[in-house]
Amino acid sequence: MKLDYDCLRSLLLKLEDFENLDDDLCYQSMTLDDMEKALTNFSKNEIAYATLKAKEGGLINANIVNADDCIYTCIYSSLTYDGHQFLDNVRNNNIWNKTKSIAKELGCTSFRSLLSISEKIILAMIQSQL
């Protein structure tokens, strides 16, 4: 299955928005069904696959519950520090779209490539301000 990076970014944005600690400092969580309702532009399969890869890549804290060789549910708690770092680079729609455009043109759309490209775009923007 192909990883949809727009889905991954949307998942990270939603998790960042989610208040995982309540006023009593008790942890809150979201489920895969909650995420599916929130990310209406993506199928449950796309969201589940993005979740698997985000967890493998160390971007999110989530518990993926399997049963009978199927994903039963996902329980999301928060972004990791690396998840915040990546999201901070691609939060801006203009930077995200430029990152995807350059990656597509170069034919390199791995997560690490997207991260590197976004960092270079941001650096170029900083340098143009000096």
Instruction: For 12-42, write each residue's pLDDT tens digit.
Output: 999 999 877 788 888 888 999 999 999 999 9
- Residue 54 pLDDT grade (very low, low, confident, very high; cuts 50, 70, 90): very high
Amino acid at 21: L
pLDDT band at 74 (very low <50, low <70, confident <90, very high): very high
Q: Domains along the chain?
A: 5-80 (1.10.10.10), 92-129 (no CATH)
Residues in CB range of 95: below 8 A, 6 or more apart: 89, 118, 121, 122, 125
Give the model's pLDDT for residue 27.
Answer: 83
User: Could you tell me which of 100, 9, 90 has the C-alpha nearest to residue 54?
Assistant: 9
